[in-house]
Structure 1
Amino acid sequence: MKINIKYGLPFIELEVTFRGNKLLLENVLLDTGSAGTVFNANIVEKIGVVPEENDTVDTIRGVGGVEYVYVKKFEAIQFGESRQENFEVEIGNMDYGMEIAGILGFDFISAAKLVIDMENMMVYSAK
Protein backbone atom coordinates (compact mmCIF):
# COMPACT_ATOMS: atom_id res chain seq x y z
CA MET A 1 0.00 0.00 0.00
CA LYS A 2 1.15 3.49 -0.82
CA ILE A 3 2.07 6.02 1.85
CA ASN A 4 0.81 9.56 1.25
CA ILE A 5 2.49 12.48 2.97
CA LYS A 6 0.15 15.09 4.45
CA TYR A 7 1.06 17.70 7.05
CA GLY A 8 4.59 16.23 6.78
CA LEU A 9 3.31 12.89 8.17
CA PRO A 10 2.73 9.40 6.67
CA PHE A 11 -0.92 8.58 5.95
CA ILE A 12 -2.54 5.43 4.56
CA GLU A 13 -6.08 4.15 4.00
CA LEU A 14 -7.69 0.98 5.29
CA GLU A 15 -11.04 -0.76 5.53
CA VAL A 16 -12.77 -1.58 8.81
CA THR A 17 -15.65 -3.94 9.53
CA PHE A 18 -17.90 -3.46 12.56
CA ARG A 19 -20.95 -5.68 13.11
CA GLY A 20 -21.05 -6.53 9.41
CA ASN A 21 -20.75 -2.92 8.23
CA LYS A 22 -17.69 -1.90 6.21
CA LEU A 23 -16.11 1.53 5.90
CA LEU A 24 -13.08 2.80 4.02
CA LEU A 25 -11.01 5.10 6.23
CA GLU A 26 -8.84 7.60 4.42
CA ASN A 27 -6.30 9.83 6.16
CA VAL A 28 -5.14 7.28 8.73
CA LEU A 29 -1.81 8.24 10.29
CA LEU A 30 0.80 5.48 10.23
CA ASP A 31 2.35 5.94 13.66
CA THR A 32 5.00 3.65 15.15
CA GLY A 33 5.14 6.03 18.12
CA SER A 34 1.53 5.36 19.12
CA ALA A 35 1.11 2.24 21.25
CA GLY A 36 -2.53 1.79 20.22
CA THR A 37 -4.77 2.22 17.21
CA VAL A 38 -7.37 5.00 17.49
CA PHE A 39 -10.27 5.84 15.19
CA ASN A 40 -12.17 9.12 14.89
CA ALA A 41 -15.57 8.75 16.59
CA ASN A 42 -17.31 11.12 14.14
CA ILE A 43 -16.24 8.98 11.18
CA VAL A 44 -16.80 5.43 12.47
CA GLU A 45 -20.25 6.27 13.84
CA LYS A 46 -21.38 6.01 10.18
CA ILE A 47 -21.24 2.21 10.60
CA GLY A 48 -22.77 2.08 14.07
CA VAL A 49 -19.74 2.56 16.29
CA VAL A 50 -21.17 4.48 19.24
CA PRO A 51 -20.56 4.39 23.00
CA GLU A 52 -22.48 1.65 24.79
CA GLU A 53 -23.02 0.90 28.45
CA ASN A 54 -20.47 -1.92 28.73
CA ASP A 55 -17.65 -0.21 26.82
CA THR A 56 -14.33 0.30 28.55
CA VAL A 57 -13.50 4.00 28.95
CA ASP A 58 -9.86 5.02 29.12
CA THR A 59 -7.53 7.97 28.66
CA ILE A 60 -4.72 8.25 26.16
CA ARG A 61 -1.81 10.64 26.36
CA GLY A 62 0.16 12.17 23.54
CA VAL A 63 1.87 15.30 22.37
CA GLY A 64 -1.52 17.05 22.22
CA GLY A 65 -2.39 16.19 25.83
CA VAL A 66 -4.95 13.81 27.32
CA GLU A 67 -8.01 12.45 25.52
CA TYR A 68 -10.84 10.24 26.76
CA VAL A 69 -11.61 7.23 24.56
CA TYR A 70 -13.80 4.16 24.61
CA VAL A 71 -12.76 0.73 23.37
CA LYS A 72 -14.48 -1.29 20.64
CA LYS A 73 -13.63 -4.62 19.04
CA PHE A 74 -13.77 -4.53 15.25
CA GLU A 75 -14.54 -7.70 13.30
CA ALA A 76 -11.73 -6.86 10.91
CA ILE A 77 -9.23 -4.24 9.92
CA GLN A 78 -8.00 -4.74 6.37
CA PHE A 79 -4.85 -2.97 5.25
CA GLY A 80 -3.74 -4.12 1.83
CA GLU A 81 -3.07 -7.85 2.14
CA SER A 82 -2.97 -7.64 5.95
CA ARG A 83 -6.13 -8.47 7.84
CA GLN A 84 -6.49 -8.49 11.61
CA GLU A 85 -9.70 -9.92 13.04
CA ASN A 86 -11.37 -9.17 16.38
CA PHE A 87 -9.01 -6.24 16.89
CA GLU A 88 -9.54 -3.78 19.76
CA VAL A 89 -9.42 -0.10 18.86
CA GLU A 90 -9.79 3.06 20.90
CA ILE A 91 -12.42 5.53 19.69
CA GLY A 92 -12.00 9.25 20.38
CA ASN A 93 -12.70 12.78 19.15
CA MET A 94 -9.26 13.20 17.59
CA ASP A 95 -9.49 16.98 17.45
CA TYR A 96 -5.85 17.52 16.46
CA GLY A 97 -6.23 20.47 14.11
CA MET A 98 -5.97 18.37 10.94
CA GLU A 99 -8.17 16.04 8.92
CA ILE A 100 -7.56 12.59 10.40
CA ALA A 101 -9.70 9.45 10.41
CA GLY A 102 -7.48 7.49 12.73
CA ILE A 103 -4.06 6.41 13.88
CA LEU A 104 -2.72 3.01 12.92
CA GLY A 105 -0.60 2.30 15.99
CA PHE A 106 2.21 -0.04 16.90
CA ASP A 107 -0.25 -2.67 18.16
CA PHE A 108 -1.57 -3.24 14.61
CA ILE A 109 1.79 -2.64 12.90
CA SER A 110 3.46 -5.36 14.97
CA ALA A 111 0.50 -7.82 14.86
CA ALA A 112 0.34 -7.54 11.06
CA LYS A 113 4.15 -7.65 10.77
CA LEU A 114 4.13 -4.57 8.57
CA VAL A 115 7.27 -3.34 6.85
CA ILE A 116 7.53 0.40 6.28
CA ASP A 117 9.60 1.08 3.16
CA MET A 118 10.38 4.79 3.16
CA GLU A 119 12.54 4.65 0.05
CA ASN A 120 9.56 3.52 -2.05
CA MET A 121 6.90 5.11 0.22
CA MET A 122 5.12 1.78 0.64
CA VAL A 123 3.88 -0.41 3.49
CA TYR A 124 3.55 -4.15 3.09
CA SER A 125 3.28 -7.28 5.22
CA ALA A 126 6.36 -9.40 5.90
CA LYS A 127 4.09 -12.47 6.26
Structure 2
Amino acid sequence: MKTLINPLVIAFTLTIATFAASFANANPGKNPAPVATYQTSMYTTTEGKLQIAVEKEATGVVDIQFVNAQGKVLFAQRMTKREKIARLRLTLHDLPDGTYQVRVTNNVEVTTHSVTLSTQPPVSGPGRLVAIR
Protein backbone atom coordinates (compact mmCIF):
# COMPACT_ATOMS: atom_id res chain seq x y z
CA MET A 1 0.00 0.00 0.00
CA LYS A 2 2.83 2.38 0.87
CA THR A 3 4.43 1.74 -2.49
CA LEU A 4 1.20 2.77 -4.24
CA ILE A 5 0.68 6.03 -2.26
CA ASN A 6 4.16 7.51 -2.90
CA PRO A 7 3.87 7.47 -6.73
CA LEU A 8 0.34 8.89 -6.52
CA VAL A 9 1.48 11.78 -4.32
CA ILE A 10 4.35 12.55 -6.70
CA ALA A 11 2.05 12.41 -9.76
CA PHE A 12 -0.52 14.65 -8.05
CA THR A 13 2.16 17.20 -7.11
CA LEU A 14 3.54 17.30 -10.66
CA THR A 15 0.05 17.73 -12.09
CA ILE A 16 -0.69 20.70 -9.82
CA ALA A 17 2.69 22.29 -10.63
CA THR A 18 2.06 21.91 -14.37
CA PHE A 19 -1.40 23.50 -14.20
CA ALA A 20 -0.11 26.36 -12.04
CA ALA A 21 2.69 27.09 -14.50
CA SER A 22 0.33 27.05 -17.48
CA PHE A 23 -2.04 29.59 -15.87
CA ALA A 24 0.74 31.89 -14.68
CA ASN A 25 1.22 35.15 -16.57
CA ALA A 26 4.62 34.98 -18.23
CA ASN A 27 4.88 38.78 -18.41
CA PRO A 28 3.10 40.29 -15.39
CA GLY A 29 2.62 44.05 -15.40
CA LYS A 30 3.97 44.50 -18.91
CA ASN A 31 0.81 44.37 -20.98
CA PRO A 32 1.30 46.48 -24.10
CA ALA A 33 -0.46 49.83 -24.13
CA PRO A 34 -2.93 50.33 -26.94
CA VAL A 35 -1.57 52.29 -29.89
CA ALA A 36 -3.57 55.26 -31.18
CA THR A 37 -4.02 55.83 -34.89
CA TYR A 38 -3.85 59.47 -35.91
CA GLN A 39 -4.10 61.90 -38.82
CA THR A 40 -2.12 65.11 -39.23
CA SER A 41 -2.39 68.24 -41.35
CA MET A 42 -0.27 71.40 -41.52
CA TYR A 43 -0.43 74.73 -43.25
CA THR A 44 0.92 78.26 -42.87
CA THR A 45 -1.28 81.20 -41.99
CA THR A 46 -1.20 84.64 -43.61
CA GLU A 47 0.74 85.90 -40.56
CA GLY A 48 3.52 83.37 -41.23
CA LYS A 49 2.60 81.02 -38.38
CA LEU A 50 2.56 77.24 -38.66
CA GLN A 51 -0.82 75.62 -37.96
CA ILE A 52 -0.70 71.92 -36.94
CA ALA A 53 -3.81 69.78 -36.55
CA VAL A 54 -3.79 66.24 -35.14
CA GLU A 55 -6.82 63.98 -34.72
CA LYS A 56 -6.51 60.61 -33.02
CA GLU A 57 -8.44 57.81 -31.37
CA ALA A 58 -9.00 57.99 -27.64
CA THR A 59 -6.94 54.85 -26.95
CA GLY A 60 -3.30 55.89 -26.66
CA VAL A 61 -0.95 58.86 -26.45
CA VAL A 62 0.55 60.86 -29.33
CA ASP A 63 3.62 63.12 -29.07
CA ILE A 64 4.07 66.22 -31.24
CA GLN A 65 7.54 67.78 -31.57
CA PHE A 66 9.08 70.67 -33.52
CA VAL A 67 12.80 69.93 -34.04
CA ASN A 68 15.66 71.92 -35.61
CA ALA A 69 18.29 70.49 -38.00
CA GLN A 70 20.59 69.51 -35.11
CA GLY A 71 17.83 67.43 -33.48
CA LYS A 72 17.11 69.84 -30.63
CA VAL A 73 13.44 69.81 -29.62
CA LEU A 74 12.12 73.39 -29.75
CA PHE A 75 8.50 72.53 -28.95
CA ALA A 76 6.85 69.40 -27.55
CA GLN A 77 3.32 68.49 -26.59
CA ARG A 78 1.76 65.18 -25.58
CA MET A 79 -1.82 64.30 -26.37
CA THR A 80 -3.17 62.14 -23.55
CA LYS A 81 -5.44 59.13 -23.96
CA ARG A 82 -8.59 61.19 -23.50
CA GLU A 83 -7.71 63.96 -25.96
CA LYS A 84 -8.93 63.43 -29.50
CA ILE A 85 -8.06 66.71 -31.24
CA ALA A 86 -5.07 69.06 -30.99
CA ARG A 87 -4.86 72.36 -32.83
CA LEU A 88 -1.50 74.12 -32.47
CA ARG A 89 -0.29 77.44 -33.87
CA LEU A 90 3.47 77.99 -33.71
CA THR A 91 5.06 81.40 -34.18
CA LEU A 92 8.22 81.02 -36.25
CA HIS A 93 9.32 84.68 -36.52
CA ASP A 94 12.18 84.38 -33.99
CA LEU A 95 13.72 81.28 -35.55
CA PRO A 96 16.69 81.54 -37.93
CA ASP A 97 16.44 80.38 -41.52
CA GLY A 98 16.93 76.67 -42.02
CA THR A 99 15.22 73.30 -42.17
CA TYR A 100 13.05 72.07 -39.32
CA GLN A 101 10.90 69.01 -38.76
CA VAL A 102 7.52 68.36 -37.21
CA ARG A 103 7.45 64.84 -35.74
CA VAL A 104 4.24 63.15 -34.70
CA THR A 105 4.54 59.72 -33.07
CA ASN A 106 2.45 57.19 -31.21
CA ASN A 107 5.62 55.37 -30.02
CA VAL A 108 5.24 52.79 -32.80
CA GLU A 109 5.24 54.82 -36.00
CA VAL A 110 6.63 58.30 -36.65
CA THR A 111 5.28 60.82 -39.15
CA THR A 112 7.81 63.49 -40.14
CA HIS A 113 7.05 66.73 -42.01
CA SER A 114 9.84 69.06 -43.19
CA VAL A 115 9.49 72.82 -42.75
CA THR A 116 11.91 75.22 -44.46
CA LEU A 117 12.23 78.81 -43.27
CA SER A 118 13.85 81.34 -45.58
CA THR A 119 13.82 85.10 -45.60
CA GLN A 120 13.71 86.96 -48.90
CA PRO A 121 16.32 89.75 -49.08
CA PRO A 122 14.82 93.22 -49.44
CA VAL A 123 14.93 94.69 -52.90
CA SER A 124 17.00 97.87 -53.02
CA GLY A 125 15.65 100.58 -55.25
CA PRO A 126 12.48 100.51 -57.23
CA GLY A 127 11.35 97.20 -58.54
CA ARG A 128 10.43 98.73 -61.87
CA LEU A 129 11.90 101.62 -63.78
CA VAL A 130 9.61 103.68 -65.98
CA ALA A 131 11.28 106.09 -68.40
CA ILE A 132 9.46 108.75 -70.42
CA ARG A 133 11.11 110.49 -73.41
TM-score above 0.5, yes or no: no
Whichever structure has more helix as a proportion of its residues is 2
Larger Rg belongs to: 2
Could you say which structure has the greater relative contact order, defined with CA pairs below 8 angstroms and 6 or more residues apart?
1
TM-score when normalising by structure 1: 0.24
Whichever structure has more strand as a proportion of its residues is 1
TM-score when normalising by structure 2: 0.23
